[in-house]
Amino acid sequence: MKQSLLLTAVLAAASLAAPAFAAEGSAGFYRIEAGNSNLEIDNVDSDELAYSLRGGYFFNANFGIEGFYTHLGRDSDDFASVEATTFGIGAIAKKNFGSDTHKGFFVSGRAGISRVDLNVDIDGFGILDDGENQPYYGIGAGYDFNEKMGVSVNIDRFKSDLFDTDFQFTTTTAAFEYRF
């Protein structure tokens, strides 16, 4: 009896809350990104493969939130390997230039907080790791084919002070987004 009363209450609350998320252009989304990660360390830079998995929710056609995981790169030689990753949460702003919501060309911006982690594995010495939370920001431009799918090119900037050294990562990626 208590379980069915609780289930009824949860379903009633969900049905009342649904119209709040039913604004035009509202949609959940998944985005896959892949491209280049440029790492700058004390005036020395390196290019590596970057990929990112992002997901979130657009509250309307122009504003949403996202969570993400990004692999910033991995490099190794005969005695050590270094791997950098980041994850975080942020806000998204988007402006479509088509006649309908989520259609046509668009520009976007995003900003939030991310945690950059650096893992250094030195043969014979073990693994050293460090991480720090810092703001991130990015811009993008793309094309939405319809309300469900779009593609874009994005540039994101992550900065962190790891092992008492200033690390700056700039990713340039191509992306495919699916909205549901």
What band does 168 get if pLDDT is binned at 50, 70 and 90?
A: very high
In the chain, where do the E strands start and end? 27-41, 44-58, 63-76, 80-96, 104-122, 126-144, 149-162, 165-179
Report yes or no on 82 lying in a domain: yes
Q: Print the domain residue range for 71.
A: 27-179
What band does 21 get if pLDDT is binned at 50, 70 and 90?
A: low
- pLDDT tens digits for range 51-105: 999 999 999 989 999 999 999 998 888 788 889 999 999 999 999 997 778 889 9
- pLDDT tens digits for range 31-53: 999 999 998 887 778 899 999 99
**137 in Cβ contact with 113 (< 8 Å):** no
Report yes or no on 169 lying in a domain: yes
Report yes or no on 116 lying in a domain: yes
Identity of the highest mean pLDDT range in 72-86, 88-102, 129-143, 161-175: 129-143
User: Number of folded domains in the chain?
Assistant: 1
Report yes or no on 42 lying in a domain: yes
Rounded to the nearest integer, the mean pLDDT of the chain is 87
Report yes or no on 67 lying in a domain: yes
Q: Over 70: is that where the pLDDT of 18 sits?
A: no
The whole-angstrom separation of Cα 8 and Cα 27 is: 26
Q: Over 50: is that where the pLDDT of 144 sits?
A: yes
pTM over 0.85: no
Report yes or no on 121 lying in a domain: yes
- pLDDT number for residue 43: 74
Of 25-34, 57-66, 159-168, 169-178, least confident by mean pLDDT is 159-168
- The token pair that represents 83 in the structure block: 């791997």
- Largest separation between any pair of C-alpha atoms in the chain: 68
Report yes or no on 10 lying in a domain: no
CATH number of the domain bearing residue 153: 2.40.160.20
Report yes or no on 90 lying in a domain: yes
**76 in Cβ contact with 49 (< 8 Å):** no
